[in-house]
């Protein structure tokens, strides 16, 4: 049993490590968006795709390991139940790994929320600018309300 609980704890720590990388990229994206560094945003999106693939792979492994361990212990696939069913020392290792992961997940959620709001604001600003440019363009070209030339002099 200890082999499986150690594997789960190690996987939780590896997942925390990968999500920490994702968090770092998200913070860099936020900074690049605030500062208008579009080329940096493109590079960061590429990095994000690579890390996301690793995130999916480690999540699949974590789910498989927790399912196996929960099945052996006869409990649900919930950390608190797995920890309760394990011997004390093993349970503490798994619990600490899970806590560390949850802290990173919570920080990542906050950063992603901030980034999402910034992107929404940027999109709204861009839409306003485009609308204003079109209006100014129509005015300067003498276009009437229907998009035709105004022939009045």
Domain count across the chain: 1
Nearest to 101 by CA among 31, 22, 4: 22
For residue 148, being part of any structural domain is answered with no
For residue 152, being part of any structural domain is answered with no
List the Cα angle 75/77/83 in 5-degree steps.
70
Nearest to 85 by CA among 96, 76, 73: 73
For residue 151, being part of any structural domain is answered with no
For residue 120, what are the domain limits?
A: 2-140
Assign 89 to helix, strand or coil.
helix
For residue 79, being part of any structural domain is answered with yes
Tell me the per-residue pLDDT of 123-143, one tens digit each, with 9 for 90 and over.
Answer: 888 888 888 888 887 776 655
Is residue 101 within 8 Å of 16, Cβ to Cβ?
yes
Tell me the per-residue pLDDT of 69-87, one tens digit each, with 9 for 90 and over.
Answer: 999 999 999 999 999 999 9
CATH code for the domain in which residue 116 is found = 1.20.58
pTM: 0.76
């Amino acid at each position: 049993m200890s082999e499986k609980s150690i594997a789960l704890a190690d996987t939780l720590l590896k997942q925390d490590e990968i999500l920490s990388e994702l968090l770092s990229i998200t913070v860099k994206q936020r900074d690049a968006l605030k500062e208008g560094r579009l080329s940096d945003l493109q590079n960061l999106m590429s990095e994000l795709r690579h890390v996301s693939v690793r995130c999916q792979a480690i999540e699949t492994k974590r789910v498989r390991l927790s399912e196996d361990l929960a099945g052996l212990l006869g409990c649900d696939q919930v950390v608190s139940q797995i920890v309760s069913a394990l011997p004390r020392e093993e349970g503490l290792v798994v619990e600490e790994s899970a806590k560390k992961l949850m802290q990173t997940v919570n920080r990542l959620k906050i950063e992603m929320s901030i980034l999402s709001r910034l992107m929404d604001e940027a999109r709204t600003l861009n839409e306003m600018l485009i609308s204003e440019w079109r209006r100014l363009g129509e005015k300067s070209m003498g276009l009437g309300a229907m998009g035709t030339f105004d022939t009045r002099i």
